[in-house]
Amino acid sequence: MTTETQPSPRQRRPRTARSLERGALHFSLGQRLALAVVPRIVWALLWLVGRTWRFEVIAEEGVVPVLLGERPGPEIYCFWHQCVLPCTVYFRYSRSIILISRSFDGELITRILKMFGYGAVRGSSSRSAREGLLGLKQVIESGRTAIFTADGPRGPIYQTKMGPIKLAQMTGAPIGVFHLQPERAWTLRSWDRFLIPKPFTRICVSWAQWTRVPADLAGGDFEPKRQELNAALERARLRALAYFGKGKA
């Protein structure tokens, strides 16, 4: 007959520590230095240049847009990844929570956004997706706004992920759709054609129809809803381009 001995509390501590560390983010010395310096520089530059931008709002018929300085409620907002910078300035008073990937780049963005009053839930369409959705569900339930960059951290460009649809189905919150298009901007050669609005430029804030997802949405209807959201995002973008007399980009 053998007996099993239970590990002592001292023996159990390393396992607990390891389990907690699985969710932690670890960075090199160079990355830690960048995290200490870069967010403050970017915040200062964006704050200064952002004060020179002029926002002009348009909306599809029947849509009530959120204006600069307004604080929205428990809603879901979606926009394309390329217009992160003007969105950061336009919604800086909203106290919104944004889904951001668990990566070094995501940590940089998180620290910059916190300086503008935003919060962050860590996760993405490819990693920690479930934890991210559950975190945003709590955001909605607390009465605050959840924001997605709809085409995710790596694209493809102008193709929304399923996350906003799943969150709307879980919470009953409507999805607001918009695009911010600068009249004059530098466009990076990145997958998302990232936009850096030039100083003193006009920026069109274009709103499309809201997307609503029923709680009892059948599994086969998720993709059509995603396509509906995608079409609304593209309408908002193309209307913003047309506002400045520009063609499809």
pLDDT per position as a tens digit, 66-87: 999 999 999 999 999 999 999 9
Mean pLDDT of the chain: 87
Q: Is residue 115 part of a domain?
A: yes
Give the number of residues written for the chain: 249
Instruction: State the residue range of the domain holding 64.
Output: 29-243
Report which of residues 93 and 249 the model is more confident about: 93
Q: Is residue 167 part of a domain?
A: yes
How many C-beta atoms lie closer than 10 Å to residue 34's C-beta? 15
pLDDT at 8 over 70: no
DSSP 8-state class, residue 57: E
Mean pLDDT (whole number) for 189-201: 96
Q: Is residue 249 part of a domain?
A: no
pLDDT at 123 over 50: yes
Q: Nearest 10 degrees: CA dihedral of 221, 123, 193, 195?
A: 110
Please report the pLDDT score of residue 14 as a whole number. Answer: 37
Q: Is residue 19 part of a domain?
A: no
> Cα Rg for the chain, rounded, in angstroms?
20
Q: Which residues contact 151 (CB under 8 A, 6 or more apart)?
A: 80, 81, 157, 158, 159, 160, 161, 192
For 124-157, what is each residue's pLDDT tens digit? Answer: 655 557 788 899 999 999 999 999 999 988 889 9
User: Which residue, 81, 84, 54, is CA-closest to 68?
Assistant: 54
How many domains, the chain? 1
Q: Is residue 70 part of a domain?
A: yes
Q: Is residue 2 part of a domain?
A: no
Q: Is residue 15 part of a domain?
A: no
Please report the pLDDT score of residue 56 as a whole number. Answer: 98
* Segment among 31-35, 158-162, 194-198, 209-213 with least mean pLDDT: 31-35
Report which of residues 103 and 241 the model is more confident about: 241
Residue with tokens 């240049």: 49
How many C-beta atoms lie closer than 10 Å to residue 144's C-beta? 19
Convert 151-183 to b/e letters by CB count within 10 Å (16 or more is b).
bbbeeeebebbebbbbbbbbbebebbbbbbbbb
Mean pLDDT (whole number) for 204-233: 97
Please report the pLDDT score of residue 10 as a whole number. Answer: 39
Cα distance between residue 100 and residue 153, in whole Å? 8
